[in-house]
Amino acid sequence: MITTPDLIESLVAGAKPVRRLRPPAARAALWLLFAAAIVSLLAVSHGLRPDLGARLGQPLFATGLAASLLTGVLAAVAAFIVSLPDRSRLWLLLPAPALALWVSTISYECLTEWVSIRPDGVALGEAADCFATLVLTSVPLWLAMLLMLRHVALLRSAAAAVAASLAVAAIASTALALFHDLDASVMILMWNLGTAALLVGLGSAFWERMLFWVASR
């Protein structure tokens, strides 16, 4: 086994100048800029949903959309803050109020419109399209998060994984609401809460493995 003084000497010998991380808010802004670019590209290629203008006039839809967007923004900020070793883990609670608002708007919509599934059900084509949008937004965002947080592999990776996955899920869900005409309550519930839970679960499960893979590149 190497002795501690020898280890110190070898670390000192390998010490190259490093670039300090930018403040967490700045890094979150960078990631959100990337997210905005992805969503805009999708909007150009896919087109916004036709009834977006009318739906935005409805307070419930507008509140839900704003809440999911805010959840994404705050969760991204929280992820970059808790990834630093000396910050409090309580920062994880930062997106909680927005998350609660988002969940409550979905639930309210479920209560009021739970019978609004169309008689012919939801067409498969629409669902597959939705899934494509979901993958196209969440995968690049998740990879960007992994790259930007690769140092966290050695620190608090579980806390960062939850916040990062929540950020990705919220942004993806916002994109879904912008592009897809899925007002049937079951689908809303499935897509919003289901995908958020799925992304947070998958994110947490694969996070550590992926981080070590990214960090070792």
Partner 1 sequence: MPSSSHNRGPDSTPVAEAAPSSAPHSRSGQERPPARELDWSVYMARAQGGDREAYRRLLQDVTPYLRSIAARHFRNSGDIEDAVQEVLLTVHAVRHTYDPARPFGPWLVAIANRRVVDGLRRQGRSRAREVALETEHETFAAPQANLAETASDGRVLRDAIEQLPPGQRDAVRMLKLREMSLKEAAAASGMSVAALKVATHRGLKNLRKIFGRQGGKT
Q: Which residues of the chain form contacts with partner 1 (CB under 8 A)?
A: 1-2, 4-5, 7-9, 11-21, 23, 83-86, 151, 154-156
Residue 16 CB, nearest approach to partner 1 (Å): 6
Residue 204 CB, nearest approach to partner 1 (Å): 18
Q: Which is nearer to partner 1, 48 or 154 (CB)?
A: 154
Is-contact 166 200, C-beta < 8 A?
Answer: yes
Q: Which is nearer to partner 1, 14 or 119 (CB)?
A: 14
Whole-number Å distance between alpha carbons of 99 and 73: 11
- Cβ neighbours of residue 62 under 8 Å, at least 6 residues apart? 55, 56
Residue 205 CB, nearest approach to partner 1 (Å): 19
Is-contact 82 89, C-beta < 8 A?
Answer: yes
Q: Which is nearer to partner 1, 12 or 124 (CB)?
A: 12
115 to 9, 54, 168, 170, 214: CA distances (angstroms) = 70, 21, 30, 25, 46
Quick count: other Cβ atoms within 10 Å of Cβ 43? 13
Q: Which is nearer to partner 1, 2 or 111 (CB)?
A: 2
Residue 144 CB, nearest approach to partner 1 (Å): 18
Q: Which is nearer to partner 1, 17 or 119 (CB)?
A: 17
Report the residue count for the chain: 217
Residue 202 CB, nearest approach to partner 1 (Å): 24
